[in-house]
């Protein structure tokens, strides 16, 4: 068993909770981050579906950017941020859209630290680690 996962069972307190934020078009980045952070022993909260990936994965159609459902889902995601110890922004190729920008602002207003994928990529390029 990985050392990171073993510490969960030995810990006296709960694992760190992270909320992933970013455009739903970055399905692969969400899956990779979810895996890596889970394997590092963190509880991962993420988006529930990927409307930008509907053609590829067959679900998520019908939620328009200006729909009531989109507004409700954005608010639901902010409740996930409320539960998180930090937010991890998947800013693939530097992209941060309107919804993600509002989530970053929400986290900042509530004192929740925000980290970025691009920071981890820079660290990786510099040989200092992943996250």
With a cut of 70, say whether residue 8 has pLDDT above it: no
Question: Residue range 9-26: average pLDDT?
Answer: 87
Which residue from 30, 35, 45 is spatially nearest to 84, judged by alpha carbons?
45
Which residue from 122, 123, 119 is spatially nearest to 89, judged by alpha carbons?
119
| Cα distances (Å, whole numbers) of residue 24 to 49, 56, 63, 92, 129 | 8, 12, 12, 11, 26
- Contacts for 66 with CB less than 8 Å, ≥ 6 apart: none
With a cut of 60, say whether residue 92 has pLDDT above it: yes
What's the pLDDT at 58?
57
The β-bridge relationship of strands 17-21 and 43-45 is parallel
Ranked by mean pLDDT, which of 20-29, 47-56, 76-85 comes out on top? Answer: 76-85
Instruction: Classify residue 36 by burial, with Cβ atoms within 10 Å: 0-12, 13-18, 19+.
Output: middle
Question: Residue range 71-86: average pLDDT?
Answer: 95
Cβ atoms of 35 and 12 within 8 Å: the answer is no
More confident residue, 62 or 118: 118
Question: DSSP H helical segments within 11-49, as ranges?
Answer: 27-39
Question: Residue range 88-96: average pLDDT?
Answer: 96
């Amino acid at each position: 068993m990985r050392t990171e996962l073993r510490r969960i069972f030995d810990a006296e307190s709960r694992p760190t909770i992270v909320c992933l934020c970013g455009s739903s078009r970055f399905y692969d980045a969400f899956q990779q981050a979810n895996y890596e952070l889970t394997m590092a022993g963190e509880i991962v909260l993420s988006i529930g579906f990927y409307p930008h990936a509907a053609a590829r994965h067959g679900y998520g159609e019908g939620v328009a950017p200006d729909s009531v459902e989109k507004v409700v889902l954005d608010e639901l995601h902010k409740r996930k941020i409320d539960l998180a110890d930090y937010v991890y922004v998947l800013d693939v190729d530097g992209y941060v859209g309107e919804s993600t920008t509002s989530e970053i602002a929400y986290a900042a207003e509530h004192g929740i630290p925000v980290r970025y994928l691009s920071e981890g990529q820079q660290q990786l390029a510099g040989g200092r680690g992943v996250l």
